[in-house]
Structure 1
Amino acid sequence: MRRFVMPLLWPVITGILLAVVLLDQFPQLLGKPAPETTSPPAATATPAADTASRAAPQLREAAPMKRGEGPVSYSSAVAEAAPAVVNVYSSRVVQREQHPLMSDPFFRQFFGKDMPRRQRLLSSLGSGVIVSDEGYILTNNHVIQGADQIQVALRDGRETLATLVGTDPDSDLAVLKIDLDNLPVIRLADSEKIAVGDVSLAIGNPFGVGQTVTMGIISATGRNHLGLSAYEDFIQTDAAINPGNSGGALVNARGALVGINTAIFSRSGGSQGIGFAIPTNLAREILRQIITHGRVIRGWLGIEAQEITPNLATSFGLKAAQGVVISSVLPNGPGDKAGLQPGDIMTAIDGKPILDPRVAMADIAEIKPGTQLPVTIIRGGERRTVTIEVGERPIPSQKNPSG
């Protein structure tokens, strides 16, 4: 009997032992929770580490951009502004001798006053912006300067001759007028509210290829000392501006006018990402004055001045290079009548220190002619105050000082 039971007993005992080992290592087989594994205790933060953790900067994390978020098109801005941007064609007739030799005095003596001449038609191309229902158009003075005839072409295909209302060479602006019905008019933005980095769109007719839109950003505001005009307060943009864009519109992302495209900085003649526009706030005031008075009225002192350099400041015995040196005084001008003399150092206007000659010039221009203006000067090392009756700046075609 035992001989038959022993062979069956060993597999049973082996199975029981194997089951005991498995249940000991894997208690979850009986529904019991697994034993917790032990791990080294977490390191206790030292005071220095805790302080460093609190001093970590709180960064502003950007929220994930949603699909379709952000500017993908400026077509609505272009549709708003582009119809009000026009092409301006100006032409003038010049007299020219029949032969180049006629410019030589030796040959001219044989013909006298009856030299054969021929006429030549010179034309130029630019852009303009319709700014009122009455048909007033802003453009650059250099676009229409000397023109005998000015033609305006609208985006809708209409063409008409324009009347020159007035010009302001000091700011390089001109005002035209056309007589058409149902004119598209652009909205004027407050140029004081634009900021570097704002999107800008330049609309015009570059090289005569047709109305074109280019995009960029506002690169800078208040640019001056460029030598482009007497009164400079330009918006700088990298939107491509090329020949033919002059007088066109610089608009924001909503299609409102922020400036009149005027000039580019270029070594090749083409756009290199540095363009300049006259701000709308300045253009608006010039438009108002030209329509109201036929000209722009600016204050004027009748002097010519130059900036004080450190060397000049030393030679005059000044502690700082501040103010301007009067280099010449126009006879019978406002400054001359008030007793100003060449060599006087002007340090303040109406109590405001002069830090930049061009800024001072712009401040004087905004003063109404006839105003009694106190000016602080230094003469012979002595500081004194002189009262000047502000005059009206003569038209730029006349030779006049810059102050």
Structure 2
Amino acid sequence: MKFGQGLATATLLLLTVTSPAVAQDKTVPASQMEMQLSFAPLVKKTANATVNVYAERVVERRSPFNDPFFEEFFGQRMPNRTQKQSSLGSGVIVGKDGIVVTNNHVIEGADDIKVALSDGREYPCTVLLKDDRVDLAVLKIQTRETFDALPLGDSDAVEVGDLVLAIGNPFGVGQTVTSGIVSALARNQVKAGDFGFFIQTDASINPGNSGGGLIDMKGELIGINTAIFSRGGGSNGVGFAIPANLVKVFVASAIGGNTTFDRPFVGATFDAVTSDVAEALGLHKARGALVSKVLSGSPAEKAGLKPGDVVLAVNGIAVEHPDALGYRLATVGIGGTAKLTVSDGGRQEQLTIALDRPPETTPRDERLIEGRNPFSGAVVANLSPRVADELRMPAGSVGVVVTDVNRGSPAARIGLQPRDIIIELNGTSVASTEVLEGLVSDDPSVWRVEIERDGQRIRQFFR
């Protein structure tokens, strides 16, 4: 057996997902003696699996004048210098072979990453997988030693009111444990990005806690602490954690050798169900994901979804909003199937949808536009569901999209931005990157451009 295969097998055994746990009987303290019980045994059991994550990155330091005129005047006599910046966060060992989970924002842009254990030992790490949209990263400690690891619990079994511990390294003062309860579930619109499904807790979470673990009373990891809600930057009793069931799928993808974390392609767009929509559709509650558009030939169409349907549950678990639907499908994973409970005109039905990666139905044919034209310096590609997913655009987007713009280029000066769709140039529809490159080579005296940005059409003229 190859080393990589052994690593994947060993860790996958650790991360085996069981069926959703049945809620157990739970009790509140009934006496003064029970009120004096301690979390110390639980902390001792889990603290060794919590690590500090140190990330260093080299950044360019501009000249002291910080003025383009002076920089151009002095030229090479005042070159920009580089300096190191450090960030500190937390992480959790989830594999005895040194697999660590943390937040992506803790290690984003880092050139050198180290982890420090509670006993002071430090180790260099490599990044197996990271994703800014779910804000997760998986690291591998560079050693053959074995470590204490936290088992991943079933976050679907978590209930509001459950006791939890948050373990991390806030403010860099050393490992710290705070306690609280689960305040809410399925929270969305917490932070920027397309992921919107968090466990909310009142356990204190502060800067440096990012990437640390949210632990239940069985000593299992039920979430990765990722954000706080505070105007002043400190904990005000509202913290958020990424559920462990998504962490399981992410870690499995990392140890499976994937370089990107793909979300299942549905081929439909969804809106929230408002109270007015619920009343109009004969629903008892304003919850679920309203189907607004279905792409032809997509998994959603093949499953039987239609505009106007409302997805109420995935595999029997209620869906509160479109973000919750995306989360539920992501935890099923690529290659799986999901059973959707759908309300169609007040009548409920069960549909089965196959989950696969977003397809690249049209070759992206990415090109850098060059020459004397307004588009020079723009990188463009043909849109497909896969390219649209990478750029966080609606799945049905078609045409030629700007994926990058070189700084200081003519394309940057006219205001082109990534995600702009080039619709028309001088009266000719831009159907592909090849067509665009041919049109700009004509070098006309006047450029009439039409682009689409965030659903809005913009027309511009250049000479």
TM-score, length-normalised on structure 1? 0.67
- Structure 1 equivalent of residue 214 of structure 2: 250
Which residue does 2:37 correspond to in 1? 72
Q: Does 1:260 align with 2:224?
A: yes
Aligned pairs for 1:355-366 within 5 A: 356-363=321-328, 365=330, 366=332
Sequence identity, in percent?
Answer: 41
Matched AA of 2:292:
V
Which one of the candidate residues 204, 208, 212 is aligned to 1:240?
204
Q: Does 2:261 align with 1:299?
A: no
- CA displacement at 1:87 relative to structure 2: 0.4
Unaligned runs of 5+ in 1: 1-61, 379-384
Question: Within 1, Cα distance between the matches of 2:38 and 2:393?
Answer: 49
Distance in 1 between residues matched to 2:217 and 2:354, nearest whole Å: 46
1 CA distance for matches of 2:30 and 2:335?
Answer: 59
User: Contact conserved, 2:206 with 2:234, CA < 8 A, in 1?
Assistant: yes
Choose the corresponding residue for 2:178, options 203, 214, 235: 214
Report deviation, 1:96.
2.1
Contact 1:299 1:367 in 2 (8 A): yes
SS in 2 for 1:110: helix
Cα 1:368–1:193 shift into 2, 3 Å: closer
Aligned length: 322
Which protein shows a greater Rg? 1
> CA-atom RMSD, angstroms?
4.2
2:157 equivalent to 1:165: no
SS in 1 for 2:85: strand
Instruction: Flag the 1:398–1:193 CA change in 2: closer, same or farther, 3 A.
Output: closer
Whole-Å separation in 2 of the counterparts to 1:63 and 1:370 = 42
Query: Are positions 1:100 and 2:92 aligned together?
Result: no
**Could you tell me which residue of structure 1 aligns to residue 290 of structure 2?**
323
**2:47 corresponds to which of 65, 82, 96:** 82
For the residues of structure 1 that align with 2:149 and 2:107, how far apart are their CA atoms? 21
TM-aligned CA distance change 1:190 to 1:117, over 3 Å = same
**Which position in structure 2 is the counterpart of 1:150?**
113
Q: 1:397 deviation in Å? A: 9.3
What displacement does 1:232 show?
2.8
TM-superposed CA distance for 1:268, in Å, is: 1.2
**One-letter code aligned to 1:234:** F
Moved over 6 A (4+): 310-314, 317-322, 336-339, 349-355, 369-374
Cα distance in structure 1, aligned partners of 2:134 and 2:299: 26
Alignment equivalent of 2:235, drawn from 271, 274, 280? 271
Distance in 1, matches of 2:116 and 2:387, equals: 30
Higher helix fraction (1 or 2): 1
- Residue 283 (structure 1) aligned to one of 247, 260, 272: 247
Report the alpha carbon displacement of residue 263 of structure 1 after superposing the two structures with TM: 0.8
Alpha-carbon distance in structure 2 between the residues aligned to 1:234 and 1:224: 7
Question: Structure 1: how far apart are the matches of 2:354 and 2:176?
Answer: 50
Q: Which secondary structure does the structure 2 equivalent of 1:293 belong to?
A: coil
Unaligned runs of 5+ in 2: 1-27, 345-350, 359-384, 396-463
1:401 matched to 2:396? The reply is no
Deviations 1:238-284 (A, max 9, x none): 11110000011111234322211111111211000011111222211
Partner in structure 1 of residue 451 of structure 2 = none
Offset of 1:69 from its aligned partner?
A: 3.6
Change (3 A) 1:305 1:240: same
Out of 137, 147, 152, which is 2:100 matched to?
137
Distance 1:148 1:121 in 2: 10
The higher relative CO (CA closer than 8 Å, separation ≥ 6) is in: 1
Counterpart residue number, 2:403 = none
2:38 partner letter:
S
Shift of 1:187: 2.7
